[in-house]
Amino acid sequence: MIKSHSWYNGQIKPSEDITISPNDLGLLRGYGLFDYFRTYNGKPFQWDWYWQRFKGSADLLNIPFDMKQEEVSEILAELYKLSSAEEVAYRFLLTGGDAPDSSTMTKPNFLIRSEKLSEMPSESFEKGISIISHEYSRDMPTLKSTDYKRVMSLQPAIKAAGAVDVLYHTGGLLSEMSRSNIFLVKDNQIKTPATGVLRGITRRTVMELAKSDFEVSETDLFLKDIFEADEVFTTSTNKKVLPVTKIDNVSIGNGAAGAASKEMLARFDEFIVNW
């Protein structure tokens, strides 16, 4: 059992002892960023990439954030030690801080928390998952803001469709799933949407790992392309490379996890063993 701890504005405590003010602008005004990553072999996976993206997102959202990477690295190591776990997930949460007047930014609040890993059932990797499509694009999609109200409000629709997640598009132009990136495989090509997406770190890792044997591209992709694809898979920290076998109740390819998806999952699993 992981002993989850949190660093909050300079202090480390057991996570259950952390409380937030109701004046936090992340809560009152949705003015917040987060990130989520994990260790492999006790080391934060792709930490440099996560750090760069997070700093850039804070800049784009105009939340002042002046911590140094080395300082945060030390906090990650300390939280890992306190966790007594082999592997942990980390969550960053940066908000506009407490605003007694409910709207004026003062000093940001920053939380770093170690968490129990959330892993997909192995069956999902073997059989693939079923998703639905929905017309929507996240506001400021290149940043990992805390704005997930759309997918939260779609939970009953997702459940009713017997699906587990949602794929967003704008007039048919694909962008991303609610918390992961999407890839299509056709012949020996692996393609993923170029715009309107979070530049996922697992996405980037998978593209690197694929390019020795596949033609990899970031390009415009449409809903209709899905139904002509051989395979579809999605990537994220906890989904790694996860086959998507059904969209809007229509089977993709032959309806089973495809060879390229399995190959990329194998490469990813090999890569993390040696991380």
Considering only 10, 11, 19, 68, the residue that binds a second copy (CB under 8 A) is 19
**Nearest-angstrom CA–CA distance, 85 and 248:** 39
Q: Does 96 bind a second copy (CB under 8 A)?
A: yes
Nearer to a second copy, 52 or 102 (CB): 102
* Strand order from edge to edge, sheet including 32-40: 11-14, 5-8, 109-115, 89-95, 32-40, 43-44
- Tell me the site size for a second copy, rule CB under 8 A: 48
Minimum separation from the CB atom of position 19 to a second copy (A): 4
Interface mask (CB under 8 A) for a second copy, residues 49-78, using x and -?
-----------xxxx---------------
Q: Does 20 bind a second copy (CB under 8 A)?
A: yes
**Nearest-angstrom CA–CA distance, 118 and 243:** 18
Determine whether 54 is exposed, middle or buried from the number of CB atoms within 10 Å of its CB (0-12, 13-18, 19+). buried
Sign of the CA dihedral running 231, 234, 240, 244: negative
Stretch that binds a second copy, among 96-104, 168-176, 211-219, 257-265 (CB under 8 A): 96-104
Considering only 10, 22, 121, 171, the residue that binds a second copy (CB under 8 A) is 22
**Nearest-angstrom CA–CA distance, 275 and 270:** 9
Minimum separation from the CB atom of position 204 to a second copy (A): 23
Q: Do the beta carbons of residue 218 and residue 194 sit within 8 Å?
A: yes
* Residue whose structure tokens are 């701890």: 5
Cα Rg of the chain, angstroms = 19
Q: Does 31 bind a second copy (CB under 8 A)?
A: yes
Stretch that binds a second copy, among 28-36, 38-46, 182-190, 248-256 (CB under 8 A): 28-36
Nearer to a second copy, 20 or 67 (CB): 20
Q: Do the beta carbons of residue 33 and residue 110 sit within 8 Å?
A: no
Minimum separation from the CB atom of position 82 to a second copy (A): 17
Q: Does 24 bind a second copy (CB under 8 A)?
A: yes
Token pair recorded at residue 241 = 């490379």
Token pair recorded at residue 41 = 């072999």
Q: Do the beta carbons of residue 8 and residue 111 sit within 8 Å?
A: yes
Q: Does 34 bind a second copy (CB under 8 A)?
A: yes
Contact positions with a second copy (CB under 8 A) in 133-172: 136, 139-140, 145-150, 152-156
Token pair recorded at residue 133 = 């499509």
Q: Does 10 bind a second copy (CB under 8 A)?
A: no
Token pair recorded at residue 239 = 């989904």
Nearer to a second copy, 117 or 216 (CB): 117
Nearer to a second copy, 68 or 100 (CB): 100
The site for a second copy (CB under 8 A) is made up of 6, 8, 15, 18-22, 24-32, 34, 60-63, 91, 93, 95-96, 101-103, 105, 111, 113, 115, 118, 136, 139-140, 145-150, 152-156
